[in-house]
């Protein structure tokens, strides 16, 4: 049950290549679980930008001096995030959330490996906390283009049993991709379950590695979204259902978290010929 | 308190603010944000006979004050729609305006039959902006005869008394010809307008931004075009009720459509940025009518067509013709 | 350095960025802000045979990311235009694209004759979005035959070698029919697009906001529609040069039009908010082409029509089909 | 020769019902004379508002610590001025100016009456200063809806030989319109020349009073403008030329200052049938 809240920015601060925004948005924290996301209005009342921008929820505080707050982390990508980066504390920010299906937690205290790419680490940190609370072993793999894009490294080190780092440019940790180090981490930690959030190519690689080992894997995908609430059908990708049939499903309400092996990675961006309702050739 | 009720071809709705087809699914998601029984009606996403996967992604591009979409009518097909979506709307007590879409006149006739007698259907909207598979993919709504055939088939197969509205495309030279053809074929009213065909080129890939190449343009960007079409259709067919839409964001925007001739309005794309927009627009429209001393919404419909007040100059004697000497002033350098 | 020159039907312009008719007067005012000889050409406000007062005011309304105008072709008439405006452009050394407008085929023929042999004319743009007084005010551009007659008359009376471009209206069902009719009648190229017919209702007076009731919608709001028309015309007539326009604000917007098939572009409404826009757009377009490694503007024209690169998946082996056990996870409450 | 300047707001402050904005806009002050106006971009880079807003120039400073500045006064009218009212010092503001034809000054030290309505007083104050410099007698009539809309009263009192005030609601001065008190002021001051700026109805009344007495009168009109620089033809009104013919002239470049008796007040908003190029009936 998401809420639309006319919020106010409590703080906005630089974190490496990102900015972290905390918004006073009473009601949202209580409903939020790791993996949920927010949809944020951008540009002000006379803006030419009509659509909300989606951001994974990083942190929430049920109550504070100002009421409940919700925090997200973003990097400047286009016009909307450029506008957001110019906001200051005290500015209004209309947010809708929590949205989407969050990560499902393991029933028991299993060994869990989390894989985050860039700002994709943000939703994994509250997940790590929840997993620790359940007594899970938590190993984290963080990857990014460069060290300024490694979000949450300190938090990860504080919470995890181990942290492995990769960067494309070698500025931190191992030069390379998370998929280069993941197999070793999975072996060492005896992982029972994998969670991942980051760029689509990374999610695919992680899903494949997990699938090859028969390890269940949840991924939080990122598809272009017009509404974020399930009414527009822009955010679909081909996913295999319980019945074995492929459907074009809405990543905003049926995701963003999917089982990695259910997503037809090869066919993302297409409608596979065997999808339900696909055009007949 | 302005009486907000509106009567569309004999069926009275408590108020004139509806959702727009394809912008509200079948109401269930929006019901999380506001009580969908509070608005005039829920116009459902156009449904086809069979399940449709829609087009490949990307399916959308944001544009200045608008967006392009090329969903390709993804949906579960009429059977699942009836048992899941329409059943939910009925249980919820919402007024359902069911939008139907097909690739042939036969499809439309079958869809209307499927809906026939269903208590939950308050109105049928016929989305004729679909390619006619039997005519080289030519869009029905661009041809008066094809439009007429579809409307006729739907009207014959729809429960008598349930209004059938034909939804017109703006991508035509003369909308009044199409409007007349639809009305002559039995349309009880007209939905004006569907999206404008548009395109965005991705300057990074240097290819069309949408997988489907072209898409439909919606949002405030198209509002002046939509208002003009409503005006033209109302002028040509003043007794035919119009469901007006295209870029409505506020109550004053809705009022523009009403003044131009719409008896009800749909709020579409705005919902994506503001999920509670329909109830907000309704409240703002009611307030605007009250402020203008209009007792009944129905009295405002088409009001902008009335002849302008005869101009009474504030000071009737004209300025004298003799030129006053101006040589006291310097010339500009 | 990308070669920015563009050749339109045999005439080479140093670069592809022009002003738009009616958005730059005859260049003199903009020359205060930038050197008008630096852009491809100055497209002048459509000129008629005789002086025209235009429509009553209000003549404009701002709309979301756009504006409506109903100027009504105010102007001094062709004689004064020749002796004042064109003479100034000639003296200044700017390339003049003279836009002409008439109420009959005869008008257009006479206008072309008046321009004939005038050294300062680099190109003639025929504004056919005018009411045909001999055909109940039906707009020439909405009818292939009327468009064809106008273009034929202008082409016959224009200096050979001087390109004649017909400017198309977007308010038509099938622009390619009109485009073909114009080309068959001798148009050397096409200007795509003129404004979309629109309307704003003033919610205070509850009457149309413009004295002329309807007006032309321009600006970024219409850009996706304009790009789509350029794409369609280029696809239908790949060898006909296009002057593309509609909502261009930046060099990347201009690039969209070029990739869709335009050999040159006009910057119109944007000039009102940013008088130096044409030179800025030119610089940005040049930079964008350079960044993309495109050596000649001409190589980018229509590039978005090329077939998409064959998709090479990053990792060719598909994901296995067997379902992984998921019962380790809790269900959502 | 107007300039387009990417300016910066030096200060923005409330003055009664108005706000006064000072913009650092080097180059513009040197070119400005009383009656010139500015065209200001509103809404920021992703705004849905494309058109500039026109404001009469109130004050200019050739050089200051920050370079030349230009000041204007505005009231919130619609979306663009609402946006402007939210600006703060340090914000960017793109301005084009000086635009239009300014007031023409008398050749000799004559008696001048200035009539300002609401924010229309703003351009009359620098005009008063210029007239004083030439040794003119200056009498000022100020009118407004209420006292919070009487702009520049103190300045007027400091500079003028006399100041008469009217308000619609009687909250300051005489209850009524400037036209109620103007005849007496003209008589008392033996006015040779009248200048006026304010709402169109006021300009018309002032023009009529001046014309009836054979006193030359200049008025600064306000018509809806899309470009402000003479290229769009939206801002026209019917004005009688030297040759006695009426033309639809652009108020942005041939005005905003016109001789009061040249404007065909009855026909503003129409195209008079005898205008050059008017449609034949
Ligand atoms: C579930 C989800 C969670 C996300 N979490 C984060 C996060 O925590 N931090 C972060 O920095 N970014 C996140 N993103 C990506 C973020 O939404 C985009 O970077 C942002 O929308 C870009 O907006 P823009 O105006 O800057 O770009 P523009 O390209 O100007 O946007 C144009 C339009 O495309 C849409 N769009 C463009 N890129 C994306 C994208 N990658 N995903 C979805 N829509 C897109 C925009 O919403 C907008 O409607 C997330 C996306 C999704 C779907
Ligand atoms: C020469 C001139 C000098 C002016 N000087 C001042 C001044 O010193 N102080 C002040 O407060 N106002 C002044 N105005 C009026 C001011 O330009 C308008 O109040 C302002 O443009 C309204 O913009 P908006 O976005 O708030 O209103 P909106 O109604 O949202 O504007 C919509 C569109 O209409 C135009 N518009 C609306 N009203 C007017 C108007 N009255 N005049 C011109 N264009 C209009 C706007 O520019 C915009 O393009 C002046 C106008 C002119 C022409
Ligand atoms: C994402 C999206 C999907 C749409 N799907 C449909 C549809 O299925 N059937 C239909 O008749 N119109 C459809 N429309 C058009 C809208 O119902 C409406 O006519 C149009 O968007 C203009 O209104 P708006 O500007 O308020 O959105 C769709 C519009 C959008 C934006
Ligand atoms: C105020 C105004 C006046 C115009 N006058 C003319 C004209 O006289 N002749 C013409 O062919 N097009 C005219 N146009 C249309 C433009 O040339 C152009 O085709 C259209 O505005 C789309 O481009 P834009 O969005 O860049 O403005 C006019 C447009 C505007 C805004
Ligand atoms: S973003 Fe609209 S349905 Fe998912
Ligand atoms: S405002 Fe454009 S010509 Fe005057």
Q: What residues does C215 pair with on adjacent strands?
A: C198
Let me know if residue C333 belongs to a domain: no
Query: Average pLDDT, stretch B155-170?
Result: 97
Query: Average pLDDT, stretch D29-37?
Result: 96
- Whether the predicted pLDDT of C310 surpasses 50: no
**Reported ipTM exceeds the 0.90 cut:** yes
Domain span holding position C12: 6-322
Interface of D with C in 213-272 (CB under 8 A): 223-224, 226-237, 247-248, 253, 268-271
Interface test with B, best of D99, D208, D241, D255 (most B CBs within 10 A): D208
Let me know if residue C278 belongs to a domain: yes
D51 lines ligand 2 (CB under 6 A): yes
Q: Using the CB atoms, write b or e for C83-118: b if 16+ within 10 Å.
A: eebbebbeebebbbbbbbbbbbbebbbbbbebbeee
- Number of domains composing chain B: 1
Complete DSSP assignment for D148-217: GG-TTHHHHHHH-SEEEEEETTSSSSEES-HHHHHHHHHHHHT-SEEEEES-HHHHHHHHHHHHHHT--E
Continuous H helices in chain B: 78-80, 87-92, 105-115, 144-157, 175-184, 223-236, 251-260, 270-273, 277-291, 297-300
Q: Using the CB atoms, write b or e for C297-324: b if 16+ within 10 Å.
A: bbebbbbbbeeeeeeeeeeeeebeeeeb
Would you state the pLDDT for residue A1? 83
The best mutation among B17, B19, B23, B269 to test binding of ligand 3, ranked by most ligand atoms within 8 Å of the C-beta, falls on: B23
- What is the spatial distance between Cα D68 and Cα D60, in angstroms, rounded to a whole number? 7
Q: Give the closest-approach CA distance of B328 to chain D in angstroms.
A: 6
Structure tokens at D33: 């004379």
Indicate which residues of B carry an active-site annotation.
Answer: 130
Instruction: Count Cα neighbours of C323 within 13 Å in the Cβ-side half-sphere.
Output: 12
Let me know if residue C327 belongs to a domain: no
Contact C272 D51 (CB under 8 A): yes
Interface of A with D in 63-102 (CB under 8 A): 79, 83
Give per-residue pLDDT as tens, D194-232.
999 999 999 999 999 999 999 999 999 999 999 999 999
Q: Which residues have CB under 6 Å of ligand 6?
A: D 225-228, 230-235, 250, 252
Would you state the pLDDT for residue C327? 61
The answer to whether A275 contacts chain B (CB < 8 Å) is yes
Q: How far is CA C157 from CA B235, C51, C90, C131, in A?
A: 41, 22, 21, 21
Q: Which atom of ligand 2 is nearest to the CA of D75?
A: 11
Q: Give the closest-approach CA distance of A182 to chain C in angstroms.
A: 17
List the residue whose alpha carbon is closest to atom 10 of ligand 2: D74
Would you state the pLDDT for residue C322? 29
Longest alpha-carbon distance in chain A: 61
Give per-residue pLDDT as tens, C109-168.
999 999 999 999 999 999 999 988 888 889 999 999 999 999 999 999 999 999 999 999
Would you state the pLDDT for residue C134? 87
- Whether the predicted pLDDT of D158 surpasses 60: yes
The answer to whether A200 contacts chain B (CB < 8 Å) is no
Closest CA to B227 of D79, C228, C202: C202
C310 Cβ neighbours under 8 A, 6+ residues apart: none
Would you state the pLDDT for residue B323? 31
Counting one residue from chain C and one from chain D, the pairs whose CB atoms sit within 8 A come to: 112
**Per-residue three-class SS string for B142-180:** HCHHHHHHHHHHHHHHCCCCCCEEEEECCCCCCHHHHHH
Query: Average pLDDT, stretch A196-209?
Result: 96
Give per-residue pLDDT as tens, C69-78.
999 999 999 9
The answer to whether D47 contacts chain A (CB < 8 Å) is yes
Mean pLDDT, all residues of chain C? 93
- What CATH code is carried by the domain that includes residue B105? 3.20.20.70
Interface of C with A in 293-322 (CB under 8 A): 313-315, 318-321
Would you state the pLDDT for residue C309? 62
- What is the spatial distance between Cα A89 and Cα A220, in angstroms, rounded to a whole number? 29
Closest CA to C15 of C266, C257, C253, C264: C264
The rounded percent of chain C whose pLDDT value lies above 70 is 92
Interface test with A, best of B275, B276, B278, B280 (most A CBs within 10 A): B275
Contact B329 D207 (CB under 8 A): no
Contact C57 D230 (CB under 8 A): no
- What is the spatial distance between Cα B204 and Cα B213, in angstroms, rounded to a whole number? 15
Confidence tier at B132 by pLDDT (50, 70, 90): confident
Let me know if residue C330 belongs to a domain: no
The answer to whether D190 contacts chain C (CB < 8 Å) is no
Q: Are A96 and A70 in contact (CB under 8 A)?
A: no
Confidence tier at A79 by pLDDT (50, 70, 90): very high
Q: Give the closest-approach CA distance of C307 to chain D in angstroms.
A: 33
Give per-residue pLDDT as tens, C218-262.
999 999 999 999 999 999 999 999 999 999 999 999 999 999 999
Pairing of strands D162-167, D137-144: parallel
- Whether the predicted pLDDT of A157 surpasses 80: yes
Q: Which atom of ligand 5 is nearest to the CA of A226?
A: 1
The best mutation among B61, B62, B203, B209 to test binding of ligand 1, ranked by most ligand atoms within 8 Å of the C-beta, falls on: B62
- Whether the predicted pLDDT of C315 surpasses 80: no
The rounded percent of chain C whose pLDDT value lies above 90 is 89
Contact B65 A1 (CB under 8 A): no
Let me know if residue B309 belongs to a domain: yes
Helices (H) and strands (E) in chain A, counts: 6, 15
The more confident residue out of C317 and D133 is D133
- Whether the predicted pLDDT of B313 surpasses 50: no
Give per-residue pLDDT as tens, A107-151.
999 999 999 999 999 999 999 999 999 999 999 999 999 999 999
Would you state the pLDDT for residue B309? 62
Of A193, A211, A263, the CB nearest to C328: A193
Query: Average pLDDT, stretch D269-281?
Result: 90
Q: Are C3 and C295 in contact (CB under 8 A)?
A: yes
Would you state the pLDDT for residue C332? 63
- What is the spatial distance between Cα B161 and Cα B166, in angstroms, rounded to a whole number? 15
Would you state the pLDDT for residue B316? 32
A277 Cβ neighbours under 8 A, 6+ residues apart: A248, B50, B51, B52, B53, B54, B74, B75, B76, B77
Complete DSSP assignment for A72-87: EEE---SHHHHHHHT-
Contact B326 D216 (CB under 8 A): yes
Q: Give the closest-approach CA distance of B221 to chain D in angstroms.
A: 9
Would you state the pLDDT for residue B322? 29
Confidence tier at D93 by pLDDT (50, 70, 90): very high
Would you state the pLDDT for residue B135? 85
List the residue whose alpha carbon is closest to atom 14 of ligand 2: D55
All domains in chain A, ordered by first residue = 3-99 (2.40.30.10), 111-222 (3.40.50.80), 229-281 (no CATH)
In a 3-state reduction of DSSP, which class is residue B215? strand
D261 lines ligand 2 (CB under 6 A): no
- What is the spatial distance between Cα B310 and Cα B120, in angstroms, rounded to a whole number? 48
- Whether the predicted pLDDT of B251 surpasses 60: yes
Would you state the pLDDT for residue C318? 32
Ligand 1 centroid–CA A234 distance in Å is 13
Mean pLDDT, all residues of chain B? 93
Would you state the pLDDT for residue B332? 63
Name the residue in chain C with its Cα closest to that of A214.
C324
Q: Which of A250-254, B174-178, B234-238, C316-320 has the lowest mean pLDDT?
A: C316-320
The answer to whether B31 contacts chain A (CB < 8 Å) is no
Q: Give the closest-approach CA distance of B184 to chain C in angstroms.
A: 21
- Whether the predicted pLDDT of B321 surpasses 80: no
Give per-residue pLDDT as tens, B9-41.
999 999 999 999 999 999 999 999 999 999 999
Of B220, B318, B323, the CB nearest to D266: B318
- What is the spatial distance between Cα A167 and Cα A149, in angstroms, rounded to a whole number? 9
Confidence tier at C307 by pLDDT (50, 70, 90): confident
The more confident residue out of C28 and B325 is C28
Q: Which of B192-201, B315-324, C93-102, C263-272 has the lowest mean pLDDT?
A: B315-324
Give per-residue pLDDT as tens, D183-194.
999 999 999 999
Q: Are C16 and C263 in contact (CB under 8 A)?
A: yes
- What is the spatial distance between Cα C189 and Cα C32, in angstroms, rounded to a whole number? 31
Q: Are D71 and D24 in contact (CB under 8 A)?
A: no
Q: Which positions in chain B touch C142 (Cβ < 8 Å)? A: 173-174
Let me know if residue B20 belongs to a domain: yes
For the question of whether the overall pTM of this predicted structure is more than 0.80, the answer is: yes
């Amino acid at each position: 049950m998401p809420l639309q809240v006319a919020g106010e920015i409590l703080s906005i601060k630089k974190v490496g290549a990102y900015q972290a925004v905390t918004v006073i948005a009473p009601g949202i924290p209580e409903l939020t679980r790791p993996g949920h996301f927010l949809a944020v209005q951008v540009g002000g009342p006379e803006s030419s930008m009509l659509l909300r921008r989606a951001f994974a929820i990083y942190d929430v505080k049920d109550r504070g001096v100002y009421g409940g707050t919700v925090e997200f982390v973003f990097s400047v990508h286009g016009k909307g995030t450029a506008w957001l980066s110019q906001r200051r504390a005290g500015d209004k920010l209309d947010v809708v959330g929590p949205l989407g299906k969050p990560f499902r937690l393991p029933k028991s205290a299993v060994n869990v490996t989390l894989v985050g790419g860039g700002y994709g680490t943000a939703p994994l940190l509250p997940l790590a906390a929840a997993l620790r609370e359940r007594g899970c072993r938590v190993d984290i793999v963080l990857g990014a283009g460069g060290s300024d894009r490694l979000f949450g490294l300190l938090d990860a080190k504080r919470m995890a049993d181990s942290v492995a780092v990769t960067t494309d440019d070698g500025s931190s940790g191992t030069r390379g991709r998370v998929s280069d180090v993941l197999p070793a981490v999975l072996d060492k930690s005896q992982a029972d379950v994998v969670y991942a959030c980051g760029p689509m190519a990374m999610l695919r690689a992680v899903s494949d590695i997990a699938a090859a080992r028969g390890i269940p894997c949840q991924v939080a995908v990122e598809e272009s979204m017009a509404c974020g609430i399930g009414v527009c059908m822009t955010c679909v990708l081909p996913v295999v259902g319980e019945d074995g049939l492929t459907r074009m499903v809405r990543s905003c309400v049926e995701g963003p978290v999917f089982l990695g092996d259910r997503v037809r990675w090869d066919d993302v961006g297409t409608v596979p010929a065997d999808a339900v309702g696909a055009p007949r050739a | 308190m302005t009486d907000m009720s509106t009567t569309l071809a004999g069926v009275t709705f408590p108020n004139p603010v509806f959702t727009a087809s394809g912008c509200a699914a079948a109401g269930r998601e929006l019901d999380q944000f506001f009580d969908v029984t509070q608005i005039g009606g829920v116009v459902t996403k156009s449904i086809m006979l069979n399940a449709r996967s829609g087009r490949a992604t990307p399916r959308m591009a944001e544009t200045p004050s608008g967006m392009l979409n090329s969903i390709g009518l993804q949906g579960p097909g009429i059977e699942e729609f009836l048992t899941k979506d329409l059943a939910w709307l009925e249980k919820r007590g919402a007024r359902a305006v069911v939008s139907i879409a097909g690739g042939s006149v036969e499809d439309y006739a079958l869809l209307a039959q499927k809906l026939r007698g269903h208590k939950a259907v308050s109105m049928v909207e016929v989305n004729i902006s679909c390619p006619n598979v039997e005519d080289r993919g030519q869009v029905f709504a661009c041809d008066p005869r094809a439009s007429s055939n579809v409307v006729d088939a739907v009207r014959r197969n729809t429960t008598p008394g349930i209004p059938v509205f034909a939804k017109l495309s703006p991508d035509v030279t003369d909308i009044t010809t199409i409007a007349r053809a639809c009305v002559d074929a039995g349309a009880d009213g007209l939905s004006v307008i569907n999206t404008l065909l548009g395109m965005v080129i991705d300057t990074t890939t240097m290819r069309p931004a949408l997988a489907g190449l072209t898409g439909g343009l919606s949002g405030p960007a198209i509002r002046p075009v939509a208002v003009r079409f409503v005006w033209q259709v109302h002028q040509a067919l003043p007794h035919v009720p119009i469901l007006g839409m295209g870029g409505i964001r506020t109550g004053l925007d809705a009022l523009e459509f009403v003044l131009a001739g719409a008896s009800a309005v749909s709020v579409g794309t705005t919902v994506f940025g503001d999920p509670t927009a329909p109830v907000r627009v309704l409240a703002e429209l009611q307030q605007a009518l009250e402020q203008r001393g209009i007792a009944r919404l129905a009295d405002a419909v088409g009001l902008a067509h009335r002849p302008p007040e005869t101009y009474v100059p504030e000071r009737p004697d004209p300025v004298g013709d003799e030129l006053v000497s101006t040589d006291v002033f310097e010339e500009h350098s």
